[in-house]
Structure 1
Amino acid sequence: MADTAAITDATPIAAALPVSRDDRALHRKVFLGIVVVLVLAPFVLYPVFLMKVLCFGLFALAFNLLLGYGGLLSFGHAAYFGMASYVSAYSAKVWGLNPEVAILCGTLTGALLGLLFGSLAIRRQGIYFSMITLALAQMAFFFSLQAKFTGGEDGIQAVPRGRLFGLVGLEDDRALYALVAVIFVAGMLLIYRIIHSPFGQVLKAIRDNEPRAISLGYRVNQYKLAVFVLSATLAGLAGSTKALVFQLASLTDVHWSMSGEVVLMTLVGGMGTVFGPIVGALVIVTMETYLAQFGAWVTIIQGCVFVLCVLLFREGIVGLVARMLKKPL
């Protein structure tokens, strides 16, 4: 894991380049391109692989909202992702709730945990903040290991996908893919709106110079808590959706390594960029899927990719492209 100061001190490309009308037009074209790719992709690639990319892409976008724009490095985001996955799976399998309600239950779980953990973590800054988030996430992990409703080491298996609004059966991968794609696009647009709202501008000011923001009268801790909860909520949405896609909620989702993985996705794609986490998620998930034959060597390969990204282009893949184009992406 890279040094905390090195991560948080890196100036995102989005901070260096203002967003003009032309930039917004470019972003609209990129959004349109993403939608077109999402429509055509299931005809070329395996839908389950695509859904995994979208779930982790949303997870990385949620984390980037906290790190790239809030300047807060959390080592415990797996807690919201994993616990939401458990609640969503349990709601669908044991309570027999419709998929949309199960996903909502998981998302609310992520929001409540974010409020609770965030209230404690924001009392400290820097590495102390990061260590508190890690400690709280480990508490969530051991709770998941011991609690009866989680199934312990077996997890919650054979989660029914159900029928969306009682009408559309989601057992067909392509029908579920359509739902996951809609959730992903909605989450991406929401994050984009947050970033470019007055709230988002205050977040960037706090990230760049917190003492100055305090001197201007902003209640910094309230803004930090708000972005923490928003990030945890969207991470919960990603985890809830993933539980239905794979019909499984397991300890892997809440393990500390999942927190490290989302950090890796964000940094490889480009911290503080709008579209970087999506690219990072695509790269990491593709490596895990198509290099699985190498077994444990996949982790080593991921480590090498991460080291190369840090050494050669700290802005990440999209950050490097943005710098070359001189356009914020």
Structure 2
Amino acid sequence: MADTAALDPAPIAAARPESRDDRALHRRVFLGIALALALAPLVLYPVFLMKVLCFALFALAFNLLLGYGGLLSFGHAAYFGMASYVSAYAAKTWGLTPELAILAGTLVAGLLGLVFGALAIRRQGIYFSMITLALAQMAFFFSLQAPFTGGEDGIQAVPRGNLFGLVGLADDRVLYAVVALIFFGGMLLIYRIIHSPFGQVLKAIRDNEPRAISLGYRVNRYKLAVFVLSATLAGLAGATKAIVFQLASLTDVHWSMSGEVVLMTLVGGMGTVFGPIVGALVIVTMETYLAQFGAWVTVIQGAVFVLCVLLFREGILGLLARRLGRPL
């Protein structure tokens, strides 16, 4: 049984072959996103945009696991946060260039996902979710106590450095272009994974795991593979965020970060290709422009989540896709 059954199986539409019209629609969406990325810095603050892109990539990575793998993880902050710490430490202490620092953080997140995933996939449903939460809490307390993380102070004043030793990233607009390329590349990779034969098997396991086993698929191998892919891409988002904000802190690895990415995915549309981007935009915008309300921002986010569950369980883009009759 899919691990998302405790939430609601309705948001995940039944898998169907992608038609030529669907592919044409998705190409237009990709072109629209590319155009929006190019024009956005002209009207919005680049640092805000970079934050949205980092969290959008994080949400896309999580949606790969939940929306297409059917695995609900409550511990994805572990990969996002640990990659952030490693990237910040590599840039500040080792003096690595930003691309190498981001790569180091991403690789560590992938290795951590391999270890944690190998343990977690031994169980299903709520037990799987609780194991991921417990493992993430271990990562949090490690980050709190480890000498290289700076404890409660975190790693501050992380240098942005020069990309490939040539292009300085001190200018927010230059760094935005780099982050936009990372986001767009990650999005294309996730799209390719979803629409590959591997992705089709994932959907089959999500929808009917016993039948997939009866057909001869080694289900646990597929689950572990998608877990590692999701953790690695989440790490890419976290490592990039550390360079953008020149900071890695306990906030990145705290359990609330795991809850936040679940919220982004569900608000945008679980099991949709582009929904997590919309969800990340909504949540980050709320956090940024409602910051004056202090702790009440969390209450407002909770109210938005409740409204989404009650009024459109498919999420914003899931509802739009149902109205259009096309997968988004």
Asked if TM exceeds 0.5, the reply is yes
TM-score by length of 1: 0.98
* Alpha-carbon separation, structure 2, partners of 1:161 and 1:108: 19
Q: In the alignment, does 2:14 pair up with 1:5?
A: no
Moved runs in structure 1, 4+ residues, more than 2 A? 3-11, 15-18
Contact 1:154/1:250 (8 A) holds in 2? yes
* Alpha-carbon separation, structure 1, partners of 2:60 and 2:10: 18
* Alpha-carbon separation, structure 1, partners of 2:262 and 2:284: 13
State how many pairs are aligned.
Answer: 326
* Alpha-carbon separation, structure 2, partners of 1:160 and 1:100: 12
Residue in 2 aligned with 1:264? Answer: 263
Per-residue CA distance 1:222-269 (angstroms, 9 max, x = gap): 000000000000000000000000000000000000000000000000
Counterpart residue type for residue 293 of structure 1: Q
Residue in 1 aligned with 2:143? Answer: 144
Identity %: 87
Secondary structure of the 2:313 match is coil
Secondary structure of the 1:149 match is helix
* Alpha-carbon separation, structure 2, partners of 1:304 and 1:16: 31
TM-score by length of 2: 0.98
Residue in 2 aligned with 1:59? Answer: 58
Residue in 1 aligned with 2:80? Answer: 81
* Alpha-carbon separation, structure 2, partners of 1:8 and 1:123: 23
Counterpart residue type for residue 157 of structure 2: A
Counterpart residue type for residue 292 of structure 1: A
* CA drift at 1:23: 0.5
Contact 1:17/1:328 (8 A) holds in 2? no
Contact 1:69/1:207 (8 A) holds in 2? yes
Distance 1:311 1:16, change over 3 A: farther
Counterpart residue type for residue 28 of structure 1: R
Distance 1:301 1:11, change over 3 A: closer
* Alpha-carbon separation, structure 1, partners of 2:35 and 2:4: 37
Contact 1:64/1:266 (8 A) holds in 2? yes
Counterpart residue type for residue 149 of structure 1: F
* Alpha-carbon separation, structure 1, partners of 2:162 and 2:196: 36
Counterpart residue type for residue 288 of structure 1: E
* Alpha-carbon separation, structure 1, partners of 2:227 and 2:296: 34
* Alpha-carbon separation, structure 2, partners of 1:115 and 1:16: 27
Residue in 2 aligned with 1:277? Answer: 276
* Alpha-carbon separation, structure 2, partners of 1:177 and 1:92: 18
* Alpha-carbon separation, structure 2, partners of 1:255 and 1:10: 29
* CA drift at 1:8: 5.5
* Alpha-carbon separation, structure 2, partners of 1:168 and 1:63: 31
Q: In the alignment, does 2:104 pair up with 1:105?
A: yes
Residue in 2 aligned with 1:181? Answer: 180
Task: Tell me the C-alpha RMSD between the 2 structures.
Answer: 1.0
Per-residue CA distance 1:166-186 (angstroms, 9 max, x = gap): 110000000000000000000
* CA drift at 1:12: 1.3
Kindly report which structure 2 residues correspond to 1:152-191, keeping only aligned pairs within 5 A, or say none. Answer: 152-191=151-190
* CA drift at 1:7: 2.2
Per-residue CA distance 1:195-235 (angstroms, 9 max, x = gap): 00000000000000000000000000000000000000000
Residue in 1 aligned with 2:38? Answer: 39
Contact 1:17/1:326 (8 A) holds in 2? no
Residue in 2 aligned with 1:288? Answer: 287
Contact 2:4/2:70 (8 A) holds in 1? no
Contact 1:8/1:67 (8 A) holds in 2? no
* CA drift at 1:10: 3.2
* Alpha-carbon separation, structure 2, partners of 1:10 and 1:104: 37
Distance 1:4 1:323, change over 3 A: closer
Counterpart residue type for residue 67 of structure 1: L
* Alpha-carbon separation, structure 2, partners of 1:102 and 1:283: 29
Secondary structure of the 1:218 match is coil
Residue in 1 aligned with 2:241? Answer: 242
Counterpart residue type for residue 38 of structure 1: L
* CA drift at 1:17: 5.2
* Alpha-carbon separation, structure 2, partners of 1:108 and 1:282: 27
Greater CA deviation, 17-26 or 192-201? 17-26
Q: In the alignment, does 2:288 pair up with 1:327?
A: no
